[in-house]
């Protein structure tokens, strides 16, 4: 089993257990909305443009709602579970390349929106994959940061981002926690921040991510 398929299966199990009305860290979305989003991005590429391109967001939202009506929460969850679908199931290696990060983050979006959550210990292989992705994408993910950022991975490794002048914040944690931090989940990532109070506050209040 790949890390992408393991995260997919764990997320589907959690969606099943919580039902359609549970909160997520995706603003305004319940578990039902998140399940529809995941199905749309894999099975309705014709309508997925609005995920990244704001002028198409209206169509994407409309198709996402139509998927909820057509399949219901249980049906959408089963479609998530039986993936990868679409191009992700046709191109060898694409599921692991793209969906490992996607399903890890959305799995945590559901886990960390529930009461009494705790960080989980990730398999070493998954931790390493997340760090490799962060080394490649970290500067892009931090491009909107108002202060310089130095990411320190537990066990070794540094990634720089944000502006080079002005204040600077050091962020320390595991690859998984740093990934969540850089993808806009700063207040839900278990990291240590070192810097002036003002710089840290500005960083925590900024919308980070791709």
- Whether residue 209 lies inside any domain: the answer is no
Q: Which helix (H) or strand (E) holds 151?
A: strand 148-153
Residues 150 and 174 in one domain: yes
Residues 97 and 128 in one domain: no
Residues 104 and 128 in one domain: no
Angle at 73 between CA 4 and CA 53, to 5 degrees: 65
**CA distance readout (Å), 149 to 107, 125, 129:** 26, 25, 21
Burial 9-44 (b: 16+ CB within 10 A, else e): ebbbebbbebebebbbbbeebbbbbbbbbbbbbbbb
In this prediction, residue 92 carries a pLDDT of 87
Range of the domain at 179: 124-204
In this prediction, residue 101 carries a pLDDT of 96
Residues 98 and 146 in one domain: no
Residues 17 and 92 in one domain: yes
Residues 19 and 92 in one domain: yes
Whichever domain contains 198, its CATH number is: 3.30.1050
Last residue of a domain, one of 111, 143, 165: 111
Whether 103 and 11 have beta carbons less than 8 Å apart is answered as yes
Residues 106 and 132 in one domain: no
- Whether residue 13 lies inside any domain: the answer is yes
Number of domains composing the chain = 2
The whole model's pTM is what?
0.94
In this prediction, residue 13 carries a pLDDT of 98
Residues 71 and 47 in one domain: yes
In this prediction, residue 11 carries a pLDDT of 98
Residues 130 and 158 in one domain: yes
pLDDT per residue as tens, the chain (210 positions):
899 999 999 999 999 999 999 999 999 999 999 999 999 999 998 878 888 888 889 999 999 999 999 999 999 999 999 989 888 888 888 999 999 999 999 999 999 999 999 999 998 899 999 999 999 999 999 999 999 999 999 988 899 999 988 789 999 999 999 999 999 999 999 999 999 999 999 999 999 987
In this prediction, residue 83 carries a pLDDT of 86
């Amino acid at each position: 089993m790949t890390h992408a398929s393991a995260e997919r299966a764990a997320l589907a199990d959690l969606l099943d257990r919580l039902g359609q009305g549970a909160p997520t860290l995706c603003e305004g979305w319940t578990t039902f909305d998140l399940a529809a989003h995941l199905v749309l991005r894999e099975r309705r590429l014709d309508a997925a443009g609005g995920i990244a391109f704001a002028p198409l967001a209206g169509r994407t939202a409309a198709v996402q709602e139509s998927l909820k009506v057509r399949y219901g929460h249980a049906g959408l969850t089963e479609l998530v579970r039986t993936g990868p679908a679409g191009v992700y199931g046709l191109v060898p290696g694409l599921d692991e390349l793209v969906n490992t990060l996607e399903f890890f983050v959305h799995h945590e979006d559901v886990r960390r929106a529930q009461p009494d959550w705790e960080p989980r210990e990730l398999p070493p292989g998954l931790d390493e994959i997340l760090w490799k992705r962060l080394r490649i994408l970290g500067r892009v993910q931090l491009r909107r940061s108002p202060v310089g950022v130095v990411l320190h991975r537990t066990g070794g490794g540094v990634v720089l981002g944000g502006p080079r002048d002005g204040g600077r914040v050091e962020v320390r944690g595991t690859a998984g926690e740093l990934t969540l931090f850089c993808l806009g989940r700063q207040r839900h990532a278990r990291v240590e921040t070192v810097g002036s109070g003002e710089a840290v506050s500005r960083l925590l209040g900024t919308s980070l991510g791709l």
